[in-house]
């Protein structure tokens, strides 16, 4: 064998170089072919659509789809073809959206668009089906009506690529009509004030087989969205309930939230607080509910005895000491305060009274609550005030004089302090229902010119000191009313947070049954105009002197049409009446007159007169 020479080595490397160069050229040609092919793909699909060659477009789409899923292709190649497939789908979706918009305007499907939808088969089917579902949801949501929905869906009923979805929707038409009505009812309730009813309504829709599977599934989605949207609002509401001692109300909210969000630690932590505070056993009260009423309290007995309303003070009011003793008597007899708001949703919801086991429910009413001239001259305080820094309610012995503020000289502060020492006297944070009479002021705050004139007239009749606003200019009065209004709003907000509710005590405490229809309308509407801006809607009314208007259909219908569904009268026995459109309760007044006639008023179920009535009454 000849020796391998340097010349031979050079020839070998020469051929190797030639071979490598050839391979590089071949590789480049292959790559160039691939890229040219992709470039053709990118432009061809759009051209086919523009030229109406939909079968060719579909063939090209399927070819690209096959390359995108070809196991022999590299990852980079697959990614390029997937992107290409996605670009085809976007072109189809853009045209589909234009077709849908034309159909929404009431147009019919053109022959060219019909060919586009039919011949692109699964591509247009995938683009149109979700739109039909979304439009069905829009119908259920009330965004579009039935006729628009039907025109849109029925347009595609003869297309094989959409047949399954379209037939399924059209077969549920009657069910969807029923569902649309139910969705509208539930949607109206989606606010923080009616969240529980909304939650319940959505759950009822989800469980209703009569509306069909599509609507049931969408209702489940809507409930989930509602729960997420209202979550933070409900947490804040639960916090306010806990702060106000309304642990039962907070627990109801938190139990619902726990069902929807079982893994949220803040819910379980707040539930633990409620469970620790609630009594071990509670029950539904099946019997009638007792109601008692008291008026503003006498602070200055000497003024009451010597003033122009001596008889009224002696017979119509209690002293602060007598009220404190009354609370102890009620507590010893196992009464527990419940909220008058228990009945606020009648007749839509029949009230359910919940109390701790061994307790008897009691609604306490602060009746005809006012600081008018008659009451001030009967020895009451002149203004209720909320001190935000200490979170206390104080009585001002002279209106607008902070230096005269005292504690435990008003039913509100006395009741609050008693409950702080006897927490089981109040269930779910309940305090009293305040029946406001507003002809001279509201809880001691003058907020209107009419109140000013009424006060001036009364003080002049009695020869009392000239009222502070008697000689003020209109401009000065308006500034004064605004300042008073601000303080009043702060007070009312605090009272609500502390568990007090409100009731219409009429404008001036006059007998509604003795009024003409026009006079009653004037009385109630003027109260509403003045107080609703402060209180919101009020659904309860206390008949002055217990004189109801049930014998006068026109008057009763006016009150019911004005939003009142709970009425209070007066009597010696427990009396609860469920009317078709309203509830009626008799309260038993506790005052000097009823204490003196305790047997007639059956007061022994509430108290021992000897332990409540003060000696000064027996000295008359």
The whole-number pLDDT of residue 15 equals 57
Split at pLDDT 50, 70, 90, the class of 11 is: low
Q: How many CB atoms lie within 10 A of CB 442?
A: 26
Q: How many CB atoms lie within 10 A of CB 274?
A: 21
Nearest of 88, 62, 64 to residue 78 by alpha carbon: 64
The DSSP annotation for 206-231 comes to HT-GGGHHHHHHHHHHHHHHHHHHHH
Examine the pLDDT at 421 and tell me if it is beyond 90. yes
**In the beta sheet, which residues pair with residue 540?**
566
The whole-number pLDDT of residue 388 equals 93
The whole-number pLDDT of residue 350 equals 60
Examine the pLDDT at 348 and tell me if it is beyond 60. no
**In the beta sheet, which residues pair with residue 261?**
none
The whole-number pLDDT of residue 8 equals 53
**In the beta sheet, which residues pair with residue 393?**
386
Tell me if 354 sits within 8 A of 591, measured CB to CB.
no
Split at pLDDT 50, 70, 90, the class of 10 is: low
The phi-psi region of residue 527 (left if phi > 0; otherwise alpha if psi is between -120 and 50; otherwise beta) is alpha
Tell me if 104 sits within 8 A of 42, measured CB to CB.
no
Examine the pLDDT at 128 and tell me if it is beyond 90. yes
pLDDT in tens, 595-620: 999 999 999 999 999 999 998 887 65
Q: How many CB atoms lie within 10 A of CB 221?
A: 12
The whole-number pLDDT of residue 29 equals 44
CA–CA separation, 231 vs 312, rounded Å?
A: 52
- Range(s) for CATH 3.20.20.370 in the chain? 290-618
Tell me if 115 sits within 8 A of 190, measured CB to CB.
no
pLDDT in tens, 331-347: 999 999 999 887 554 44
Q: How many CB atoms lie within 10 A of CB 487?
A: 18
CA–CA separation, 573 vs 117, rounded Å?
A: 78
Tell me if 585 sits within 8 A of 567, measured CB to CB.
yes
CATH second-level architecture of 290-618? Alpha-Beta Barrel (3.20)
Split at pLDDT 50, 70, 90, the class of 456 is: very high
pLDDT in tens, 389-415: 999 999 999 999 999 999 989 999 999
Higher pLDDT, 567 or 470: 567
Q: How far is CA 230 from the centre of its chain?
A: 9
The whole-number pLDDT of residue 586 equals 96
Question: Dihedral of the CA atoms 445, 451, 454, 455 (nearest 10)?
Answer: 20
pLDDT in tens, 485-536: 999 999 999 999 999 999 999 999 999 999 999 999 999 999 999 999 999 9
Higher pLDDT, 260 or 481: 481
Tell me if 548 sits within 8 A of 569, measured CB to CB.
yes
The whole-number pLDDT of residue 43 equals 72
pLDDT in tens, 281-316: 999 898 899 999 999 999 999 999 998 999 999 999
Higher pLDDT, 26 or 566: 566
The DSSP annotation for 279-296 comes to -S-EEE--S--EEEEE-P
Higher pLDDT, 71 or 556: 556
Tell me if 507 sits within 8 A of 439, measured CB to CB.
yes
Average pLDDT over residues 451-476: 91
Q: Go through the chain and tell me how many residues it has.
A: 620
pLDDT, mean over the chain: 90
Split at pLDDT 50, 70, 90, the class of 117 is: very high
The whole-number pLDDT of residue 42 equals 65
Tell me if 142 sits within 8 A of 105, measured CB to CB.
no
Average pLDDT over residues 82-86: 91
Examine the pLDDT at 569 and tell me if it is beyond 50. yes
Largest CA distance in the chain: 153
pLDDT in tens, 16-39: 565 565 555 444 444 444 544 555
Specify the residue for token string 């009024």. 515
Query: Under DSSP, is residue 347 helix (H, G, I), strand (E, B) or coil?
Result: coil
The whole-number pLDDT of residue 620 equals 56
The CA-CA-CA angle for residues 257, 259, 260, to 5°, reads 65
Q: 356: which 2 tokens?
A: 């701790």
Question: Dihedral of the CA atoms 508, 511, 512, 514 (nearest 10)?
Answer: -130
């Amino acid at each position: 064998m000849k020796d391998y020479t340097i010349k031979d080595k050079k020839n070998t490397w020469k051929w190797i170089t030639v071979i490598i160069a050839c391979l590089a050229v071949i590789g480049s040609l292959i790559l160039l072919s691939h890229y040219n092919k992709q470039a053709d793909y990118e432009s061809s699909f759009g051209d086919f659509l523009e030229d109406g060659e939909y079968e060719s477009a579909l063939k090209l789409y399927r070819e690209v789809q096959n390359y995108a899923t070809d196991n022999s292709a590299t990852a980079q190649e697959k990614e390029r073809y997937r992107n290409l497939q996605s670009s085809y789908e976007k072109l189809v979706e853009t045209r589909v959206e234009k077709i849908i918009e034309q159909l929404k305007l009431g147009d019919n499907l053109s022959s060219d668009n019909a060919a586009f939808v039919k011949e692109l088969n699964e591509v247009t089917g995938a683009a149109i089906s979700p739109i039909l579902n979304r439009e069905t949801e829009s119908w259920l949501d009330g965004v579009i009506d039935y006729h628009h929905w039907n025109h849109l869906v029925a347009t595609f009923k003869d297309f094989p690529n959409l047949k399954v979805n379209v037939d399924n929707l059209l077969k549920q038409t009657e069910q969807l009509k029923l569902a649309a009505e139910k969705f509208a009812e539930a949607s109206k309730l989606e606010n923080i004030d009616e969240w529980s009813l909304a939650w319940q309504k959505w759950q009822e829709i989800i469980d209703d087989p009569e509306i069909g599977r599509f609507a049931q599934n969408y209702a489940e989605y809507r409930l989930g969205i509602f729960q997420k949207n209202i979550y933070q609002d409900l947490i804040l509401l639960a916090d306010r309930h806990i702060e106000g001692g309304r642990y039962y109300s907070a627990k109801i909210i938190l139990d619902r939230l726990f069902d929807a969000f079982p893994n949220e630690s803040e819910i379980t932590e707040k539930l633990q607080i409620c469970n620790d505070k609630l009594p071990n056993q509670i029950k539904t009260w099946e019997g009638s509910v007792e109601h008692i009423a008291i008026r503003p309290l006498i602070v200055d007995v000497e003024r009451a005895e010597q003033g122009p309303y001596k008889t009224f003070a002696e017979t119509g009011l209690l002293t602060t000491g007598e009220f404190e003793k009354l609370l102890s008597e009620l507590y010893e007899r196992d009464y527990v305060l419940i909220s008058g708001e228990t009945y606020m949703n009648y007749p839509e919801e029949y009230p359910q009274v919940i109390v701790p086991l061994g307790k008897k429910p009691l609604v306490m009413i602060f009746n005809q609550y006012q600081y008018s001239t008659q009451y001030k001259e009967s020895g009451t305080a002149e203004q209720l005030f909320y001190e935000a820094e200490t979170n206390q309610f104080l009585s001002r012995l002279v209106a607008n004089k902070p230096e005269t503020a005292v504690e435990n000289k008003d039913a509100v502060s006395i009741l609050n302090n008693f409950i702080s020492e006897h927490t089981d006297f109040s269930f779910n944070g309940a305090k009293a229902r305040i029946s406001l009479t507003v002809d001279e002021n509201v809880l001691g705050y003058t907020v209107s010119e009419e109140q000013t004139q009424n006060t001036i007239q009364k003080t002049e009749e009695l020869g009392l000191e000239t009222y502070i606003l008697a000689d003020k200019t209109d401009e000065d009065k308006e500034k004064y009313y605004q300042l008073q209004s601000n303080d009043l709003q702060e007070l009312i907000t605090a009272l609500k947070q502390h568990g007090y509710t409100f009731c219409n005590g009429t404008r001036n405490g006059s007998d509604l049954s003795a009024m003409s229809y026009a006079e009653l309308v004037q009385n109630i509407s003027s109260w509403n105009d003045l107080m609703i801006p402060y209180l919101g809607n009020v659904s309860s009314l206390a008949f002055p002197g217990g004189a109801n208007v049930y014998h006068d259909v026109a008057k009763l219908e006016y009150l019911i049409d004005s939003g009142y569904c709970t009425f209070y009268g007066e009597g010696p026995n427990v009396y609860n009446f469920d009317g078709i459109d309203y509830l009626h309760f008799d309260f038993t007044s506790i005052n000097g007159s009823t204490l003196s006639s305790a047997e007639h008023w059956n007061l022994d179920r509430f108290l021992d007169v000897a332990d409540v009535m003060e000696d000064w009454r027996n000295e008359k």
